[in-house]
Structure 1
Amino acid sequence: MKFLKLTLIILFTISVASCSSDDDSSNPSSANISGIWQGESFDYTGTSTTEILGESITTSFVGETENINYTLTFSENPNEVIADGSYDVILTTTLEGQTTTQTVPGIDFLNSGSWELDGNTLTFIVDGEASEATIETLTDNLLVLVISDTQEINQQGVTASTMIDAVLTFTR
Structure 2
Amino acid sequence: MTRKLFFKTVILSVFISVLVGCDKNDVTTPKENSSDIVGEWLMEALTYTGTSTLSVLGEEYITDFVGKSIDSDLVVDYRENNDIYTEGSYNIELSSTFLGVTTTQSTGGLIKDGLAGTWEIKGDSLITTTTLGETSSSYIEILTENTLKLVATDQRTETIEGYKTAIYTKYVIEYTKK
TM over 0.5: yes
Match of 1:161 in 2: 166
2:98 matches 1:95: yes
Match of 2:50 in 1: 46
Consecutive aligned runs of 4 or more in structure 1 exceeding 3 Å deviation: 17-24
Match of 1:150 in 2: 155
Secondary structure (helix, strand or coil) at the match of 2:158 reads: strand
Match of 2:139 in 1: 134
The normalised TM-score by structure 2 is: 0.86
Stretches of structure 1 that go unaligned for 5 or more consecutive residues are: none
The answer on whether the counterparts of 1:123 and 1:130 sit within 8 Å (CA) in structure 2 is: yes
Stretches of structure 2 that go unaligned for 5 or more consecutive residues are: none
Structure (1 or 2) with the greater strand fraction: 1
RMSD, aligned CA: 2.2
The normalised TM-score by structure 1 is: 0.89
Identity of paired residues, percent?
A: 33
Alignment of 1:6-17 (within 5 A): 6-17=9-20
What count of residue pairs does the alignment treat as equivalent?
Answer: 170
Deviations 1:93-147 (A, max 9, x none): 0001001111112222683211121011111111112111110100000000011
2:119 matches 1:118: no
Which deviates more from structure 2 when the two are superposed, residues 119-128 or residues 105-114? 105-114
- Measured in 1, the distance between the counterparts of 2:89 and 2:161 equals 32
Which deviates more from structure 2 when the two are superposed, residues 151-160 or residues 31-40? 151-160
